[in-house]
Chain A
């Protein structure tokens, strides 16, 4: 069973394009996290959301608790945004992760 589903699995975009990655989950959550995994393997946290919307630079994350859905948007994409983006939900003391969206931004 997959508590967290992401789409698309793979995404290729031209530099400058607006990108959306979607995350749907099936469990009750206390928080949702968006993570970025670099080609070298390191994982960094981008956002933690429990409601509404957050913005950091060109990245915007939204969450709709009623619909159990979150989106990560990247405006004016750049080749350095190429990475795997992972959605994770926290329920109680446990985290469940999506399988990730592999993004490639072509110059």
Chain B
């Protein structure tokens, strides 16, 4: 198993540009989520999904969009990048939202918005 994969590892955008951060898992996990990590703030939940076709907002959803058309993939879209979105982004997955399972994290994407 590859686990949770994220692409790209690094990205630089200009203000106003859009892009998609990719996340995939090959463990047949139901629950997938996106977090951002900023210095001194800890990880914060952006969006999550409890299964294909089902998504919901987390703590900091503004400026981001998600969809879950398959169990494996959970892309995060930045609609119009802003410098405040400069951060490290982590995708994570766990087996089921209904049981107590550990989360598996991707390696992260470091995004800089100029």
Interface positions, chain B 59-114, Cβ under 8 Å from A, are 59, 88, 90, 92, 97, 100-105, 107-108
| Of B42, B44, B48, B88, the contact of A86 (CB 8 Å cutoff) | B42
Interface size class of B (residues with CB under 8 A): 20 to 34
Say whether B45 faces chain A, with CB atoms less than 8 Å apart: yes
How many angstroms from the CA of A96 to the CA of B59 in the assembled complex?
9
Measured between beta carbons, the chain A residues less than 8 angstroms from B24 are none
Expressed in whole angstroms, the minimum distance between the Cβ of B12 and any Cβ of chain A is 17
Measured between beta carbons, the chain A residues less than 8 angstroms from B43 are 86, 88, 95, 97
Does B41 contact A42, Cβ atoms closer than 8 Å? no
Interface positions, chain A 42-64, Cβ under 8 Å from B, are 42-45, 48, 50
Does A94 contact B58, Cβ atoms closer than 8 Å? yes
B residues in contact (CB < 8 Å) with A = 31, 33, 35, 40-45, 48, 50, 56, 58-59, 88, 90, 92, 97, 100-105, 107-108
